[in-house]
């Protein structure tokens, strides 16, 4: 990888159209001027928008694609419709061809996972890819996975997710041996599903090989930041993610309403303005927007489809950090330290039943 970070963007993905993509890219470029962009989409739609962001023009290339994957397309039909000539596929293909270091899309989650799996292929030794979320806690940001790629999971897949999450922690947080915990209904070794208990025994035996196994963690340990990486299967992970996002919005609304409830409250809000601004930013899901597809031969970031330019900037910033942090190399290093069974040669992605942010 060169000193310049090259980001391939599905400019047509998401609910709010390509203008949000360009605006977010312009904001991201301010923070990281060594970024270069390849935008994929309908040239007739994208060229006029790029003219509105003159700072982007010198560092951007537009690649025309006829097809756009709809948010309600099923993964199987999206593959037939978009393989080779859709903005989503082209964004992934740029990574596969070595033109870009990372791909970003705010499009259909199931379609993106299916296309990414077929285009980039799983890494050797990884049975299924996972989606990881960066999660703010009382201690610091942590990683939670899987948050929607694989509904259900056996012990081997949970071990794979642990390896992938630890590699992401090393790339993003510069931690040599991050702590890993398995999400469970209790911390005692006798509790939980057999697959979770089996995975716990396997991880305990491998602890020290690129990570430190903490043991089982419960739901409240996520917000505490008890461990650096929380591992679960996609069904529980997606519910936890959506619950946390909803709770953050609920608390933010409570605080906002309370501060407007009386004259005295409004005066107090003026006095505590800077602290309240920091709290509002901390509770804003847009600041941690972006899920990382892990376990593929290339880095893919999934932005929330309904986000605005602030959220898309966050997804691009995450893409930048993943490329700069040599994520793929660190995952490969983790696999060497703790090799897993060989992944099937012809993956058959299962359509996610839940969509991550």
Mean per-residue pLDDT of the chain: 84
Are 332 and 144 in contact by the 8 Å Cβ rule? The answer is no
Q: CA 177 to CA 250: how far, in whole Å?
A: 35
Are 225 and 169 in contact by the 8 Å Cβ rule? The answer is no
Q: CA 273 to CA 270: how far, in whole Å?
A: 5
The DSSP code sequence of 154-174 is -HHHHHHHHHHHHHHHHHHH-
Hey, what are 196's tokens? 């979770």
Q: Which residue has the higher pLDDT, 279 or 217?
A: 217
301 has which bridge partners?
Answer: 104, 292
- Other Cβ atoms less than 10 A from the Cβ of 104: the count is 29
Each residue's pLDDT tens digit, 19-69:
999 999 999 999 999 999 999 999 999 999 999 999 999 999 999 999 998
Taking each helix axis from N to C end, the angle separating 109-120 and 75-82, rounded to the nearest 10 degrees, works out to: 60
Tokens 């929607």 map to which residue? 148
Q: Is the pTM of this model over 0.85?
A: no
Structural domains in the chain, sorted by start: 5-126+295-325 (3.40.718.10), 130-285 (3.40.718.10)
The DSSP code sequence of 3-24 is SSEEEEEETT-SSS-HHHHHHH
Each residue's pLDDT tens digit, 259-270:
777 777 777 766
Are 179 and 219 in contact by the 8 Å Cβ rule? The answer is no
**Distances from the Cα of 12 to the Cα of 35, 64, 93, 152, 321, angstroms:** 20, 11, 16, 31, 23
Segment 207-230 shows an average pLDDT of 90
Percent of the chain with pLDDT over 70: 87
Core vs surface per residue 106-124: b (16+ CB within 10 A) or e:
bbbbbbbbbbbbbbbbbbe
Each residue's pLDDT tens digit, 285-341:
667 788 889 889 999 999 988 888 999 999 999 999 889 888 788 777 766 665 544
Segment 216-222 shows an average pLDDT of 93
**Distances from the Cα of 92 to the Cα of 89, 119, 239, 301, angstroms:** 5, 7, 28, 10
Helix or strand or coil: residue 123? coil
Q: Is 134 exposed, middle or buried (0-12, 13-18, 19+ CB in 10 A)?
A: buried
Hey, what are 118's tokens? 């077929």
Which pLDDT belongs to residue 276? 53
The answer to whether the bond into 285 is cis (omega within 30° of 0) is: no
pLDDT at residue 355 tops 80? no
Phi, psi angles (nearest 5°) of residue 331: -65, -45
Each residue's pLDDT tens digit, 73-89:
888 888 887 777 899 99
Composition of the chain by helix, strand, coil, percent to 5 = 50, 15, 35
């Amino acid at each position: 990888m060169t000193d310049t970070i090259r980001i391939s963007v599905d400019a047509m993905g998401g609910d709010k159209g390509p203008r949000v993509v360009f605006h977010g890219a312009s904001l991201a470029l301010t923070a990281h001027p060594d970024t270069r962009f390849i935008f994929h989409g309908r040239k007739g739609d994208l060229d006029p928008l790029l003219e509105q962001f003159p700072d982007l023009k010198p560092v951007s290339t537009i690649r025309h694609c006829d097809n756009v994957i709809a948010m309600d397309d099923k993964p199987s039909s999206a593959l037939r419709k978009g393989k080779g000539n859709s903005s989503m596929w082209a964004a992934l293909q740029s990574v596969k061809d070595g033109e870009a270091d990372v791909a970003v899309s705010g499009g259909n989650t199931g379609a993106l996972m299916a296309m990414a799996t077929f285009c980039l292929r799983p890494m050797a030794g990884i049975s299924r890819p996972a989606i990881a979320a960066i999660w703010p806690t009382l201690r610091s940001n942590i990683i939670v996975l899987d948050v929607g790629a694989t509904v259900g999971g056996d012990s081997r897949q949970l071990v794979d997710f642990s390896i992938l999450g630890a590699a992401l922690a090393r790339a993003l947080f510069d931690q040599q041996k991050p702590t890993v915990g398995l999400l469970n209904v209790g911390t005692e070794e006798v509790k939980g599903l057999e697959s979770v208990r089996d995975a716990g025994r396997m991880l305990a035996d491998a602890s020290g090989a690129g990570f430190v196994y903490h043991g089982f963690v419960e739901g409240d340990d996520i917000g505490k930041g008890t461990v650096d990486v929380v591992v679960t299967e996609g069904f529980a992970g997606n519910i936890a993610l959506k619950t946390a996002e909803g709770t953050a919005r609920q608390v933010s609304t409570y605080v906002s309403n309370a501060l407007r409830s009386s004259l005295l409250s409004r005066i107090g809000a003026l006095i505590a303005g800077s602290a309240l601004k920091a709290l509002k930013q901390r509770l804003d899901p847009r600041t941690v927007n972006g899920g990382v597809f892990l376990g593929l031969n290339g880095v893919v970031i999934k932005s929330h489809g309904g986000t605005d330019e602030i959220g898309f900037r966050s997804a691009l910033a995450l893409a930048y950090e993943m490329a700069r942090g040599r994520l793929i190399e660190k995952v490969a290093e983790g696999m060497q330290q703790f090799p897993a069974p060989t992944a099937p040669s012809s993956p058959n992605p299962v359509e996610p039943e839940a969509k991550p942010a």
